[in-house]
Structure 1
Amino acid sequence: METFELVHHPTTPPLGVTGLCARILAFEPRWLTLRWRVEGAGRIVLPPFAGKVRADGLWQTTCFELFMRPQHRDEYVEFNFSPSQAWAAYDFCGYREGMVERAMPRPPVCTPRRGQSVLIFDVALPTAALPALPFVYGLTAVIEEEGGHKSYWAMAHREDRPDFHHESCFASRLEAPHQP
């Protein structure tokens, strides 16, 4: 699967983060596995451990996100994953409209690993929670650094302000695997 170099929105430059990439590691019958890698992560603020709980407002600090929309449809899904292991999942019927909690067969598994200057964040998401293929998707991140400074990272951005729900952030497509 392709690795995407996420870019910060020009209105929210990072302090110490020098790069952020994200990718789908594996798409198997039961799990979709994702990875984000943050370079220059020495000043990143990580929320305290919360365990595998559903929680709102995760985007208010360091949070990794996946947006998915069935191709040629208005409705979409937002998944939020925190290094605290808390998570959230929402359905929308249109652009920022009709938000409701998405039913999940089981919680995603969130695994942060932090080194001196690198943060690797892996997520295993049950495939039963995903919309039907083919879909377009966006991998995004909110990064909080010391002092409350936040930068907003995505595969692509709208011009005027960070907005992960905007059409521009659904920058890649995933098809059903081809059978031999």
Structure 2
Amino acid sequence: MKNRLILNTAIQNLSINSTLHLTNNKVQIRFVVKGELNAYIFPPKSKLQRANELWKATCFELFLADSQKEEYYEINFSSSLVWNFYYLKNYRAEVQELKLLNEPKIEVQQNEDEVQIDFELEIENLEKFDIYNVASIFLTKDNERTFWSVKHEKDVPDFHNRATFLQIK
């Protein structure tokens, strides 16, 4: 499933595209970002590790859900190789960090004009998900967060809003 992400304001100095593959208990998502990358802060690379509050800096997000249930899952990751995987019982409920059998794989390729980030994670029972959302947050050099998603329902970004989720094909 390919998607183009849009910003929730008039600024459009980036082009962000995502490609999502759900196969055999594996999530694979690629974000390709082109444009004025020098206007944004990318966190420095670290070791592959879990962390919270990635949304306070430049990060990428994927939400997966069953449209018949309130619960959903959130995956966050960064070009710094920091990531997390959460379960939420219902809309914006307290996040619960999920344990995994294997750590995800994150690969980053970056130059002046483009960054490509690939994220892969093994998850059981992927067939139960029939809707998803992809999003990203970019921190500007002025320390302002910009919010990108396939669809924005209101002036205030809300990636958890089911009205912005897409059907898995």
Q: TM-score, normalized by length of structure 1?
A: 0.85
Q: Name which of 19, 26, 34 aligns with 1:31.
A: 26
CA contact (8 A) 1:142 1:152 kept: yes
Within-5 A mapping of 1:1-180: 2-10=1-9, 13=11, 17-24=13-20, 26-40=21-35, 41-128=37-124, 131-174=126-169
C-alpha deviation, 1:172, in angstroms: 2.9
- More deviation in 73-82 or 2-11? 2-11
CA contact (8 A) 2:22 2:126 kept: no
CA contact (8 A) 2:64 2:129 kept: no
| Mapped partners of 2:130, 2:159: distance in 1 | 16
Q: TM-score, normalized by length of structure 2?
A: 0.90
| Mapped partners of 2:136, 2:122: distance in 1 | 20
Letter in 1 for 2:5: L
Larger strand share, 1 or 2: 2
Letter in 1 for 2:104: P
Match of 1:111, SS state, is strand
Letter in 2 for 1:120: Q
C-alpha deviation, 1:30, in angstroms: 4.7
Listed one character per residue, the Cα deviations across residues 96-147 of structure 1 (whole Å, up to 9, x for unaligned) are 114211222222111121112111111111133x654242000110011222
| Mapped partners of 1:109, 1:147: distance in 2 | 31
**Which residue is 1:178 aligned to?**
none
| Mapped partners of 2:95, 2:28: distance in 1 | 25
CA contact (8 A) 2:5 2:148 kept: yes
**Identity across the alignment (%):** 24
Match of 2:18, SS state, is strand
| Mapped partners of 1:31, 1:94: distance in 2 | 23
Query: 1:131/1:73 Cα in 2 relative to 1: closer, same or farther (>3 Å)?
Result: farther
Letter in 2 for 1:73: K
Listed one character per residue, the Cα deviations across residues 23-58 of structure 1 (whole Å, up to 9, x for unaligned) are 11x433253211111111232211122211110011
CA RMSD of aligned residues (A): 1.8
| Mapped partners of 2:95, 2:33: distance in 1 | 29
CA contact (8 A) 2:25 2:126 kept: no
| Mapped partners of 2:80, 2:14: distance in 1 | 23
| Mapped partners of 1:107, 1:84: distance in 2 | 15
